[in-house]
Amino acid sequence: MPEFIGQLPKREPAWNAISSVQSFRRYTQGIHFDCGNNSRLTLSILAPNLIRVRFSPNGELTPRRSWAVNLPDAEWNNVNFDIQETDEQIIIETDKIKVCVQRDPCKVMCFDQAGNPFAHDTDLGIGFRKGEISSWKEITAEERFYGFGERSQLLNQRGKCLTNWTTDCLDYTMLTDEMYQAIPFFMSLRPNLGYGLFFNTTFWSQFDVGATQLNTLQLKTQDSELDYYIIYGPEPAKILETYTQLTGRMPLPPRWALGYHQCRWSYDSETEVRELVKQLRDRRIPCDVIHLDIDYMQGFRVFTWNKQRFPNPKKLIEELSQQGIKVVNIIDPGVKFDPEADYQVCDRGLEQDYFIRRADGQVFHGYVWPDRAVFPDFMRADVREWWGNLQHNLTDVGVAGIWNDMNEPALNNQPFGDLEGDKITFPMDASSGGGDDKTTWRETHNLYGMNMARASYEGLQKLRSDKRSFVLTRSGFAGVQRYSAVWTGDNHSKWEYLEMSLPMLCNLGLSGVAFVGADIGGFAGDASPELFARWMQLGMLYPLMRGHSMIGTKRHEPWEFGQEVEDICRKYIELRYQLLPYFYTLFWQAATKGEPILRPLLYHYPNDVKTYELYDQVLIGSSIMAAPIYRPGVENRMVYLPEGTWYDWWSRKSYQGSQHILVDAPLEKMPLFIRAGAIIPLVPVMQYAEELPVNEMRLLVAPGKREFTLYEDDGLTFAYRDGMNSTRQYRVDLAGNQVVVEVGERKGNWNPDERKVIVEVIGKGEQEFIDDGKGRQLVYQ
């Protein structure tokens, strides 16, 4: 870690404060303010609920690079806004909010239509000093804070100081600050008022959320200008919809990626992989994907195969594909520095000058798995293209996805694993990026993982142009969802990590990254049978459902823990497969609206303060709520039911909400609840996502008044983009004692095979029909 990062000098130099507004000038999208001493503040009104705030102490707003932001200012539709002036303020009003700029001292203040302030500068407003710029905002007593990317703590982050700097945080604990992902975005919530703030800086940055001063939020960056977006909700869903309009959304993954993934460091030979798949299929544990960790390579050289242990990967993958298994291979950024060995990746990279250089012009070397390694500059488009194409070494033999690891980047200054070695990053003044984007590592460090994932994603789109692929990355920045799924890195086989996984994944989801998971069973250490069973139950809720374990640990496949645990694992993996149409629809919601798949309760109950600290219950979509067990020896637990009626998934018993209940949860049971008005599609168990066409679908309906749009397509290709998809609206309503289910007409050009549909209304019975795509009404007495 370079010494100026995160270490403040003993006596901090004073801040130069922004002074007063001297004059202002309207332009199409907003207002420029002259704030004296050549400094400039600009407010751009990009949408009625989206304001961009920029401040430059020297008046120069540098052209911002579009690394995180997917929709630049010029691409937002023009918005109507009014400007009024008083002696004290300049007031800008949109259909949704009011932004007031106080003249002296200059400060930015926002108000909702009821006049409640939010994102309101303190009297200090904006300050700057050598190498740093900062802004301070007031926080009210009621406000809670969520998002902030990957955070190893519980849900609400108020009271913490949170740094945005991607780091290999091996052995992270609840106290860890810098994580694999750095996403400088958060959401603030209080009853009837929620807003998001995206800090548009890739440099080292930090949020002090009332840690130093109880009621003050400080944003700080080592950038040369201040640039942030305020996104008014008031609901979390609206904030995320706008935030993901700004930073992009997840492309729809192949449906098989929603199935169960089995991984270990490492299944390191063809024989072992074949045996693994045989066990899965013989034991009827559904599975779609096997991950190959670093040992499939020749001496950890990326884009090679070890010829002794994997003599014929093409044949292996063909055989696996006949059994419905896809293969995903790990790729690390460190390229073995191997100039004498005819290793094309190293030779070509050196020849073409693709690797990061130090400021003195020397190619930078660090140490990772392959020992001495050099590192591609993924900020450059030509390097990304080269890297993306190199993946043909894997896709040519049938690999269907790429797992990007160690891309924070993780490296040492001594041979890897050497206890004397220190973790390092590239020198801050190393050059990075090409053309107009050429800059230094200081600005691009946080972007390394995301741009590596981008190279993988774009490469796979070319190499497997007719099929959707899967990309997984450990590190990323705001916008990573455009290219890749994310997992939470190296957790431990300990109860605390099981507990922490839910709020971690929820906060990632509230940061625009919906396709997320934690290693089921825990990566480091040995899981006990009880821990493993509980983890598989909870893992069934993870958008990315992958079991993984570290080299040297006890094996963690579901059958390693005895019959009882194997049966529990099978039951919950089967439930995941039964729910695939539901999950797939949630992925479509994420791809089209930026909605999280796994949601904390506050997402749907933002005015119920009882949900604000509730980190150990989650919603999958809007209709299923889980209250998992994450402690040993626990066989019952308290569950909070928000307002409305709830139904127990297992017994179908109904409960009135707005209360806590005590529920039984013996080892084989994870408490699950269905919300009134839920419409949940279920299909028969399959051993892999594409095993059979769906010729039978059960709709589980809970009496109430709600609707659900089911999304379907071929699950594999890009034809859905050309209209080969189908949506179906279902609506449930109450009429006296009757429950009425309206089945809408199927819309779109994709037609499933003929299918039987069974509609089960809880407490009322079932009706079934052969689906011809037409609308119909079902009445339940």
Nearer residue to ligand GLC within complex by CB, 417 or 562: 417
Give residues 457-496 in contact with ligand GLC (rule: CB under 6 A): 474, 489-490
Strand partners, 656: 645
Q: Identify the residue among 112, 208, 268, 293 touching ligand GLC (CB under 6 A).
A: 293
Contact present, 210 and 40 (Cβ < 8 Å): no
Contact present, 692 and 728 (Cβ < 8 Å): no
Strands annotated E in 165-262:
181-182, 185-190, 193-199, 205-209, 216-221, 226-232, 260-262
- Closest separation in Å from C-beta 324 to ligand GLC: 24
Quick check: 330 binds ligand GLC (CB under 6 A)?
A: yes
Q: What tokens were used for 415?
A: 């041979």
Taking Cα atoms as reference points, which of 489, 463, 457 lies closest to residue 475?
Answer: 489
- Closest separation in Å from C-beta 550 to ligand GLC: 6
- Closest separation in Å from C-beta 172 to ligand GLC: 11
Give residues 195-224 in contact with ligand GLC (rule: CB under 6 A): none
- Closest separation in Å from C-beta 263 to ligand GLC: 8
φ and ψ at residue 182, rounded to 5 degrees = -125, 110
The gap from C-alpha 467 to its chain's centroid, in whole angstroms, comes to 22
- Closest separation in Å from C-beta 489 to ligand GLC: 5
Residues 162, 6: Cα–Cα separation, whole Å: 11
Nearer residue to ligand GLC within complex by CB, 474 or 534: 474
User: Taking CB positions, which residue lies at the least distance from ligand GLC?
Assistant: 265
Nearer residue to ligand GLC within complex by CB, 207 or 303: 303
Alpha helices in 312-434, H assignment, sequence order: 313-322, 344-351, 381-390, 392-395
Taking Cα atoms as reference points, which of 127, 69, 126, 73 lies closest to residue 102?
Answer: 126
# residues near ligand GLC by CB under 6 A: 9
Q: What is the 3-state secondary structure (H, E, C) of 249-267?
A: CCCCCCHHHHCEEECCCCC
Contact present, 189 and 602 (Cβ < 8 Å): yes
- Closest separation in Å from C-beta 317 to ligand GLC: 20
Give DSSP secondary structure letters for 276-315.
HHHHHHHTT----EEEE-GGGSBTTBTT---TTT-S-HHH
So which residues are the catalytic ones? 405, 408, 490
Nearer residue to ligand GLC within complex by CB, 172 or 203: 172
Residue for token digits 């055989």? 319
Strand partners, 111: 98, 117
Quick check: 449 binds ligand GLC (CB under 6 A)?
A: no
- Closest separation in Å from C-beta 333 to ligand GLC: 12
Read off the DSSP letter of residue 428.
Answer: T
Give residues with Cβ within 8 angstroms of 419, minimum separation 6.
none
Is the bond preceding residue 632 a cis peptide, omega within 30 degrees? no
Nearer residue to ligand GLC within complex by CB, 255 or 548: 548
Nearer residue to ligand GLC within complex by CB, 153 or 266: 266
Read off the DSSP letter of residue 676.
Answer: T
Give DSSP secondary structure letters for 458-516.
HHHHHHTTTS--EEEES-EETTGGGT-EEE----BSSHHHHHHHHHHHHHHHTTT--SE
Quick check: 544 binds ligand GLC (CB under 6 A)?
A: no
- Closest separation in Å from C-beta 293 to ligand GLC: 5
Give residues 227-246 in contact with ligand GLC (rule: CB under 6 A): none
Q: Which string of b and e fits 263-289 if b means at least 16 CB within 10 Å?
A: bbbbbbbbeebeebbeebbeeebbbbb
Give residues with Cβ within 8 angstroms of 215, minimum separation 6.
138, 139, 140, 141
- Closest separation in Å from C-beta 514 to ligand GLC: 21
Contact present, 437 and 368 (Cβ < 8 Å): no
Q: What tokens were used for 284?
A: 């009827």
- Closest separation in Å from C-beta 325 to ligand GLC: 19
Quick check: 265 binds ligand GLC (CB under 6 A)?
A: yes
- Closest separation in Å from C-beta 686 to ligand GLC: 28
Q: What would the x/- binding string for ligand GLC be over residues 348 to 387, using CB under 6 A?
A: ----------------------------------------
Nearer residue to ligand GLC within complex by CB, 230 or 292: 292
Nearer residue to ligand GLC within complex by CB, 464 or 548: 548
- Closest separation in Å from C-beta 170 to ligand GLC: 7
Quick check: 294 binds ligand GLC (CB under 6 A)?
A: yes
Beta carbons within 10 angstroms of residue 651's beta carbon = 9
Cα–Cα distances (Å) from 98 to 24, 50, 109, 123, 198, in that order, read 17, 11, 8, 19, 19
Q: Identify the residue among 225, 268, 405, 712 touching ligand GLC (CB under 6 A).
A: 405
- Closest separation in Å from C-beta 466 to ligand GLC: 30
Quick check: 574 binds ligand GLC (CB under 6 A)?
A: no
Quick check: 193 binds ligand GLC (CB under 6 A)?
A: no
Return the CA Rg of the chain.
26
Nearer residue to ligand GLC within complex by CB, 146 or 532: 532
Contact present, 607 and 191 (Cβ < 8 Å): yes
Nearer residue to ligand GLC within complex by CB, 151 or 291: 291
User: What is the amino acid identity at position 574?
Assistant: E
Read off the DSSP letter of residue 20.
Answer: -
> Residue 619, CB half-sphere, CA atoms under 13 Å: how many?
23
Residues 162, 177: Cα–Cα separation, whole Å: 6
How would you classify the pairing of strands 50-56 and 40-47?
A: antiparallel
Binding residues vs ligand GLC (CB under 6 A): 265, 293-294, 330, 405, 474, 489-490, 548
